[in-house]
Amino acid sequence: MQSLSGELRGPGAPGLDLETWDRTKLRAPSFCRLFGKWVGKHSSLPALLVLLSLTTLTACRKQDFPQYPANYREYAYVTNGGSGTVTVLDVVNIRIDREIPVGLNPAALIASPSRNEVYVVNSGSESGQGSLSVIEAEKNAVVATIPLHRRPVSIDLDATGAHAYIANAGSNSISVVDLKARQEIAQIGAGEEPAAARIAPDGRTLVVANRRGNSVSVIDAAARKVRAIFSNCPGASDVTILHDSSKAFIACSAGHQVMAIALADSKFNPGQPDRLESLLDVGRAPVQLALKPDGGELFVSNSASDSISEVVTSTDDVGGAYLIGDDPVRGLVSADNALLYVANFRSQYVTAYSIEDGRRLAPSIHVGDGPVALAFSGSGLLLFAVDNRSGDIAVVRTATMSLFTLLPTNRSPNAIAVKAFKVQ
């Protein structure tokens, strides 16, 4: 096949064997654009080659790969816990952009809603101090490192992106970080080994899951003081808060329940203090909660039961448990509230579940080994699965629920965040 400005070569071309061609022929949307231009310039193509051209261009449907403006950037950032780095995936061209050294044992990260920045929590050594790396997305480089306390493990941001709330599992505390000033401005005491801290959308309440303390701390975010403590949540591990800041749900991962708390002076609890609303029976080892974008239901990943549970958030009704895969650890709901994607850690599969129909969609999507984290691209046309054991990122087309490609990370990738922006 004639070369296309050095970009497009067929099997048997110098330096590109059949196996490599098969892996890379549709590797990135740039291929589709180049192929289309090449076909357009060759009006005298033989009929068979025209048919091949049309087939190839059909595989490059516009809905799979949007046409982005020249100044649009989108990156997926993956923490590599075993190598102290972050792998950066260029979402526009679907290729690895670079790998950024951060701190020791990066364990969590989040993208700013207001700045072109990504914040990486480095847990550090078992007995040492952790840190927060600030990555400037336009340069994809670390521009600041903020000291934290022992074993920070999770991060959340307020709605404006001004403050970060970081759970220090080894210090039994929450760090409040002023992200503009690049410094910690407060440390709030929590229970034993806080695993997750979530700030309510209205910014008034911080809810903390204390894993070893088997408890939940509810904190007044403005006063930075504990407002209430709720016990009897063994292995408290994950927190989600409804969009109207009225209620919090906490996964009790060492048991089989989810705790529901009506937050102070909310629509479920007007003029009243924080109140335990119910303990919901789900499957064994509920480790993560996935809230629908409309807030109407949440889905519980029951790791030891190989199932998910569906919870109606307004009534605390558990709709039932559904077998989903081998060790489900992470769920993510599509923007249209139609599909739940579940990463099954002891497998090489992500399972899609139809929310309206209440059933798994077969077959499951084959990814890498040990999928542990999920994220959508900005368009929602791609799903990224972080594969912890095989050390790669699976890129999945959501339109066809099929694997598009696998891209390498470094050792033990464990979390992902996506940031999109336009350069000036």
Model confidence over 246-259: pLDDT tens digits?
999 999 999 999 99
Within a 10 A sphere around the Cβ of 17, how many other Cβ atoms? 10
b/e per residue 132-149 (b: at least 16 CB within 10 A): bbbbebeebebeeebebb
Query: 88 pLDDT exceeds 90?
Result: yes
CA atoms within 13 A on the CB side of 33: 9
Q: Where are the beta strands (DSSP E) in 171-244?
A: 173-178, 183-189, 194-199, 205-210, 215-220, 225-230, 236-241
Answer yes or no: is pLDDT of 110 > 80.
yes
Predicted TM-score (pTM) of this structure: 0.86
C-beta separation of 137 from 116 below 8 A: yes
User: Distance (Å, rounded) from C-alpha 105 to C-alpha 108?
Assistant: 9
In the chain, the amino acid numbered 99 is E
Residue 86 · residue 80 · CB < 8 Å = yes
Backbone angles phi, psi at 102, to 5 degrees: -125, -130
Q: Are 266 and 222 in contact (CB under 8 A)?
A: no
Report residue 162 as tokens.
């001004």
* Element housing 339 (H / E): strand 339-344
Burial class (CB in 10 A: 0-12, 13-18, 19+), 344: buried
DSSP 3-state of 63? coil
What local confidence, expressed as pLDDT, does residue 269 receive? 84
| β-strand partners of 80 | 85, 413
Burial class (CB in 10 A: 0-12, 13-18, 19+), 237: buried
Residue 174's identity, in one-letter code, is: I
Task: Answer yes or no: is pLDDT of 388 > 80.
Answer: yes
Question: Crossing angle of helices 47-59/29-40, nearest 10°?
Answer: 150
pLDDT tens-digit series, residues 17-32: 323 333 333 344 444 4
Q: Is the pLDDT of residue 8 over 50?
A: no
* CA distance readout (Å), 326 to 6, 128, 308, 344, 347: 44, 35, 11, 5, 6
Residue 388, token pair as written in the block: 């912890």
- Work out the average pLDDT over 234-242: 98
CB–CB of 354/338 below 8 Å? yes
* Interval 101-126 mean pLDDT: 97
Strand ranges of the sheet holding 392-397, from the earlier edge strand across to the other edge: 371-376, 382-387, 392-397, 402-408
Task: Kindly report the number of other CB atoms within 10 A of residue 202's CB atom.
Answer: 16
